[in-house]
Chains A and B, each alone.
Chain A
Amino acid sequence: MFKNQIIEERINEKTSGDQYMRAFVKAVLDKTKNSKQAVSEIKKSVESTVKRKSNGGDF
């Protein structure tokens, strides 16, 4: 995802044990990097992650 491996490493380190948060943080960065409607896309990510987490679904 990142050419800068440090970012990838830090994400994994900071979110170790919380795959929801890891996927969410990566999604936030991905939307920021690739989407022109990043804010609304990030909102969708927040909401879907919270719902999935509370339902105990797959991250």
Chain B
Amino acid sequence: MRFTSITISNYRQYKNLTFDFTKKRDTDIHIIVASNGTGKTNLLNAINWCLYNDEPHLNNKDEAMIMCNKSALKEAKERGQETVDVSVTIEAETNSERVIFCRNLPFKALTAFPLKSRATFTVSIVTENGTEPLEGEAAQDYIDLYLPKRIREYFFFDGEQLDNYFDPQKFEGNSSAVRDSIHTISEINVVTDAIKHLKKVIDDYRREAAKNNPDIVQLKNTYDSKKLLREAKEKEISDITAAIAVSKEKIEEYTTKISSQESIVDIDKSYKENEAEIEKKKTEYQYLKFELKRFVRKYYVLLSTYDTNRRVYNYIDEKSNQGHLPPDIDLKLLKQSLESHICAVCNQGIESNSAEHIEHLMQKLTVSTAVSHKLMEIKNDLITATEAAENFCVEKEEIFRKLSEKKSEISDLENKNLVLRKKLSTCSDVAEIKDWVKKRDDHTNLVQINSEKLGKYKEQVKVLQEDEDKARNELDKALSQQEKGEELKEYMQYASEGLHVLNEIEQEITGEVRCKMQEETMRVFSSLIWKKNTYERIELNDNYQLHLYSVENESCIGSTSAAERELLALAFTIALHRVSGHDALLFIDTPVGRVSDVNRENFAQALIDVSRDKQLILAFTPSEFSAEIRGYFNDESLSSMVELENLTEEETKVRRNY
């Protein structure tokens, strides 16, 4: 990348100025000559502000004057303008495109207050196909591609700050910054970052592979056992289904066999039932015969005593009806009257003959009363016996009826069985038929039992199948993981091979770049200085800290002059650009401030060589741009030259433009 122009508006002492850096020669050298205070360093600040939005070359940022040009502010106030725009536009080109960097910041004319919310920064890529504007992160990325901020000291070289180049502590604040910058500019960091990325990729694969390491054997065993269980159960189902089918066939077979013979079975059954019924009836008949015997015995007595009983009963009944039973006289009163000799009824005295009569009466009464009582006692028995005897005919008829009925029933059943026996005698083998029926019934029961089992087993198979499916899925997943694991191993192996290549490349190019940097820095340094026999070699340590060795092999950077250190820094910068092949310009402010005489000539000659493939913008003070320098940087070698002078204290203008 090279700058083709820089246009600055209202930035510090640059009110309105354009630097044209068109390449007009084989060499690409552009000279700016400006006295101290004219704004030479502020040109460097303007470039930094435009690209990185800061001004690193201000001595004291907190106490610096405002960025906006004072004259422009004053004029704006006078014109009643509200704001004044500060802007820096850098036009540049690469091998393939033109690019315009533009930063703009408005300031309030009255208060000189920056309106940061209205600040803009754009990067416009101009190609044959048109303009592509980039903003924000994309714009920053584009700058980082060509002019990374962290190594800007290697593009925008400040001769007055050269001590920083060899003091890692001062260089962006850390000791590895020089090395990091060189690695960035020479793109070693791409290899380093690629190694980090590849290691991360390998770690990711390793982590993933660790997750994909299942116990396949155990899962396979689990699956096999589940499968065996399910198959065994299915075998049972199959056996039961077959058994049911067999039973059904048998049922059908026996049903067919029995169908024509089925009535025989019923007849046989009826015959057997009748036999049992006959036996039962015969028992009942025997019982009735026993009852009859009892009846005969009972009525033999009753009937043989019937007349006597009737007569005695009638007699008692008659006497009873006549009131003779028992007698009317009270034996107690008679006894009382006899003992007291006074009649208990009329209360008259009883004479002796009366007493004898009473005694005789009492004697008679005693016998009669006992008989009377006895008779009354048997009266009920007599009537019961008599009435029972009178029931003889009814009871006889009843018992004989029952006997007759029972006999008739037995006879009917026996007749029925005679018929049945006759029918049964026509059948060849009833027992066989009965066996068929039994077997059919057994098979029917078996079908029912097996059907229930079948239902249960089918449910069990469903569960076993689910278990088996689950185990198979786990196994499949594990196998797939195993395959994935194998795949991951391949990826890891390939990435590791790539990592090995990159590690070797990094190691070699790091060493090689450092080695080339040492050689190139020494070569350029030797061409810049007049002392050709003092210094022999340069060594760069891991952090690219530079050590200069004398021909006596002594480290001697501490004893070099300021001019030599400046030339050494310049040599290092040029070497870095050359070794890295980085496509960027080199802006050097105050390049030979501490260099004189022959060294200046050497410096000019070396830069002419550098400028054949790199743009150089050199900002000299008039005293720096001495005769020795002018001898080399003339019309034949320069593409442009500008002399600046102060128009006023607040404004710089171009005095001469060559």
Chain A interface residues (CB < 8 Å from chain B): 2-7, 10-11, 14-15, 21, 24-25, 28-29, 31-33, 38-39, 42-43, 46-47, 49-50, 53-54
Contact = CB atoms under 8 A, between A and B. Distances in A.
A3 B580 contact: yes
Contact of A24 (B494, B505, B582): B494
- Secondary structure type dominating chain A contacts: helix
Contacts, number: 91
Contacts of A28: 194, 197-198, 498, 502
B197 A38 contact: yes
Contact of A14 (B197, B494, B505): B505
Interface stretch (B309-317, B365-373, B506-514): B506-514
B183 to A, nearest CB: 10
A44 B242 CA distance: 59
Main secondary structure of the interface of B (DSSP, over half): helix
B197 A21 contact: no
Contact of B509 (A4, A15, A42, A53): A4
A10 B197 contact: no
Contacts of A15: 501
Give the contact-size bracket for chain B: 20 to 34
A4 B565 CA distance: 27
A47 B583 CA distance: 34
B167 to A, nearest CB: 26
A55 B514 CA distance: 42
B191 interface: yes
A3 B582 contact: yes
A42 to B, nearest CB: 5
Contacts of A5: 581
A29 B498 contact: no
Interface in B104-139: none
B216 to A, nearest CB: 23
A39 B197 contact: yes
A7 B507 CA distance: 11
Nearest to B508: A10
Contacts of B498: 21, 24-25, 28, 46
A13 to B, nearest CB: 9
B190 A32 contact: yes
B191 A46 contact: no
Contact of A43 (B204, B490, B509, B512): B204
A26 to B, nearest CB: 10
B193 to A, nearest CB: 5
B187 A4 contact: yes
A49 B494 contact: yes
A25 B186 CA distance: 18
Most buried by A among B495, B508, B516: B495
Leading 3 A-B pairs by shortest Cβ distance: A3-B581, A32-B194, A10-B505
